[in-house]
Amino acid sequence: MEKAQRLCGRPQSVETRPHRIPVCRGGKAGPVRLGWIHNKVGMDVGRFLEKGLLIPWQEGARWFWDTLVDADLADNTLGWQWSAGCCASSQPYFRIFNPVLQAKNHVTDGAYLRRWIPALADRAGMALYAPWTAARPPPGYPPPIVDLSASRRRALAAYAQFRRAQEEPGR
């Protein structure tokens, strides 16, 4: 739980612990202030924590459970297991979505990001979805804590290692 809180922030720290990837940052600020998160944004946040940062699904599920006013134990638990690739009807473990591209493709007008991240209010295009890549990034806006391509490779390697261990004789 400590890792999820450090990465997602505690409710009182929404301004002082900014997420670095806008869709995840907005996906943190909305639930903290409203107690509600859009399903697609929740999946993006979950996938990034689980597969981008290799945070156990239980830690993100606990944060959502403590933060969302409409949290449902079964939906929350199974949703996190599904996106982690460890429940009966899961997406394949190798589907690791890039949160920047997911935001670009699904938060197309950027209103959601601009609402929750005032520093990006005047941004458009990739300067909105990946502000650290802009010619003039917002002052003080930090780069991602992981390289998204490298974190994808690391997650695939971890899943492959787990799969090999499960296939060993005697298991």
Residue with the bigger pLDDT between 14 and 158: it is 158
CB atoms within 10 A of CB 43: 21
Q: What is the pTM of this model?
A: 0.77
pLDDT per position as a tens digit, 81-137: 888 877 777 666 677 888 899 888 887 788 888 998 889 999 999 999 999 999 999
- Tell me the average pLDDT across 36-53: 85
pLDDT at 45 over 50: yes
Quickly list H helices, the chain.
2-8, 22-34, 39-47, 57-67, 73-84, 99-106, 111-116, 126-129, 148-167
| 39 band by pLDDT with thresholds 50, 70 and 90 | confident
pLDDT score at 134: 92
pLDDT at 17 over 90: no
Class of domain 2-167: mainly alpha
Residue with the bigger pLDDT between 8 and 102: it is 102
The Cα–Cα gap between 122 and 57 comes to: 34
